[in-house]
Amino acid sequence: MSAAMPPAMDPAAAGEMAREAAAWCSLHGLVVGDRADQRSATVPGVGLVHAPFSLLPAHFPESFWRQACELAPVFNELVDRVSMDGNFLQNALSKTRQVDDFTSRLLEIHRKMMEINKEENIRLGLHRSDYMLDSETSSLLQIELNTISASFPGLGSLVSDLHRSLIKQYGTSLSLEHKRVPANAASTQFSEALAQAWSEFNIDSAVIMMIVQPEERNMYDQYWLSKHLQDSHGITTIRKTLSQVEAEGQVLPDGTLLVGGQKVAVVYFRAGYAPNDYPSEAEWSARLMMEQSSAVKCPSISYHLVGTKKIQQELAKPNVLERFLKSEEIDKVRKCFAGLWSLDDEYIIKTAVEKPELFVLKPQREGGGNNIYGLDLRETLVRLQKEGGDALAAYILMQRIFPKASPAYLVRGGVCHEGLAISELGIYGAYLRNKDKVVINEQCGYLMRTKVSSSDEGGVAAGFAVLDSLYLTGKVMFQSIDLFTHHFCLDR
């Protein structure tokens, strides 16, 4: 995927624009907590800095933009259908659970819900499917599908406004048109979906509970959703950590979830996706308690499991999608699948050890900073093979995608840096079903993240990338990569 391709600017002009942009961020709430201030992660309004951003939007071919948007409702349906096949989830993750305690605990909660035949009449999913443009195959390829805590609908929406504002001010000299930056309503559309789920629950006095980490420098992204819910729908949002839910929560005999004496209609997880979120049994107890309740879970434990790397790899196997989708939907989805392999294939391990630059080794972990590349990938595979047992089951291998790098201006901490960068497009989707009635199934905004091309990881919150938006073009431009042979890339 091409990053922003700005006209040449002298450092003074870029610096002036960066200062204007940073001021805009402060005035419009495009902010995060300052890592230099310890209280910024716990006390709202303390230690604010502008979110890291790209000074100009990333160029992106409109045809691939439309393809990604059209895929969102299909992936929404896929998540829901796979989530209802409990045996498929348990079987597909059976080896992973033996070597990954975190996945094992999630599966145990899921198994308990299967045993009591727990019904989830109202099912809400707020997802994000992430893509890159691969220069070798000239195609849009999926990186991963996030079904829990899909971040940045709040701040990501604002970056589009920032870029349109900058182009209106400087566009003549930059030869850019602000109308080519697509509107991004992710923040309001996520809020609308949460509000509609609350409405389907149909208890006016109930609240929406957002599950958050004890320390959260990205709290303002979350507060934008709470603001929309209050201003547009009069719905109160409460913020609780998993440990607070365990201490303050209870499930009444009729299934009602009470936390701090308040009835909870919807549980919206912005935490709970990583082992660090469960430092003690209290957090696991809270997760089980919420799952046992009648509250709408976003996501439910089954939706959460569908988003695991192993399920992504299982769905890429021949004849698996046929269990869940129609033929015309299957063609659309398969077209965006990158090569994905389990590590029970000795040939693919041998190939990856010989050519580690062609692969990414992915453990079952969410958030940036977990993937393994290059020589580290080779060393990890060799070590795991020597150790034997089922250790390899904790990982999947993925085809490495080679996007085109382009010059960009990245702004972090008030300083503008110019360099070669690549970008990743995330498409948000909202899905809401009440029994057999699909209430919402739509694409709802996007997230663009840009990083220097020398960085393997891509998380904004993890410090690797900056927030960006799109500048739609009619051209598809790719850079040839000699490392990856076309026949191997498509062999899966």
Residue 35 DSSP SS3: coil
Q: Is 87 a catalytic residue?
A: no
449 belongs to an annotated ligand binding site: yes
Q: Is 362 a catalytic residue?
A: yes
Residue burial 227-262, b: 16+ Cβ < 10 Å; e: rest: bbbeeebebebebbbbbbbbeebebeeeebbbbeeb
From the candidates 95, 123, 164, 449, which is the catalytic residue? Answer: 449
317 belongs to an annotated ligand binding site: no
Q: Is 26 a catalytic residue?
A: no
400 belongs to an annotated ligand binding site: yes
Q: Is 179 a catalytic residue?
A: no
**57 vs 164: CA distance, rounded Å:** 9
From the candidates 2, 83, 151, 342, which is the catalytic residue? Answer: 151
Residues 6+ apart with CB under 8 A from 485: none
92 belongs to an annotated ligand binding site: no
**132 vs 18: CA distance, rounded Å:** 26
Q: Where do runs of H (alpha helix) occur along 202-251?
A: 219-233, 242-248
Question: Pairing state of beta strands 415-434 and 122-134?
Answer: antiparallel
- For residue 434, how many C-alpha atoms fall within 13 Å in the half-sphere facing its CB? 11
For the four alpha carbons of 11, 16, 19 and 25, in that order, the dihedral sign comes to negative
20 belongs to an annotated ligand binding site: no
**191 vs 428: CA distance, rounded Å:** 12
Residue 252, both tokens: 């009444």
**340 vs 338: CA distance, rounded Å:** 6
From the candidates 144, 192, 200, 283, which is the catalytic residue? Answer: 144
151 belongs to an annotated ligand binding site: yes
Bridge partners of 471? 59
183 belongs to an annotated ligand binding site: no
From the candidates 367, 374, 419, 459, which is the catalytic residue? Answer: 367
The residue among 196, 203, 157, 175 whose CA lies nearest residue 6 is 175
26 belongs to an annotated ligand binding site: no
Q: DSSP secondary-structure letter at 371?
A: -
Q: Is 246 a catalytic residue?
A: no
424 belongs to an annotated ligand binding site: yes
Host H or E run for residue 452: strand 437-452
Q: Is 128 a catalytic residue?
A: yes
Residue burial 73-97, b: 16+ Cβ < 10 Å; e: rest: bbbbbbbbebbeebebbeebbebbb
362 belongs to an annotated ligand binding site: yes
Chain centroid to CA 278:
20
387 belongs to an annotated ligand binding site: no
309 belongs to an annotated ligand binding site: yes
Q: Is 112 a catalytic residue?
A: no
63 belongs to an annotated ligand binding site: no
313 belongs to an annotated ligand binding site: no
323 belongs to an annotated ligand binding site: no
From the candidates 77, 283, 291, 366, which is the catalytic residue? Answer: 366
398 belongs to an annotated ligand binding site: yes
Q: Is 449 a catalytic residue?
A: yes
**141 vs 196: CA distance, rounded Å:** 32
218 belongs to an annotated ligand binding site: yes
125 belongs to an annotated ligand binding site: no
Q: Is 366 a catalytic residue?
A: yes
From the candidates 76, 146, 184, 434, which is the catalytic residue? Answer: 146
Instruction: Tally Cβ neighbours within 10 Å of residue 281.
Output: 9
**337 vs 354: CA distance, rounded Å:** 23
146 belongs to an annotated ligand binding site: yes
367 belongs to an annotated ligand binding site: yes
From the candidates 240, 287, 297, 362, which is the catalytic residue? Answer: 362
222 belongs to an annotated ligand binding site: yes
Binding residues for ATP: 144, 309, 362-371, 373, 398-401, 424, 451, 457
Binding residues for substrate: 128, 148-151, 216-218, 222, 270-273, 449, 460-461
Binding residues for Mg(2+): 144, 146, 366
Query: Annotated catalytic sites, by residue?
Result: 128, 144, 146, 151, 309, 362, 366-367, 449
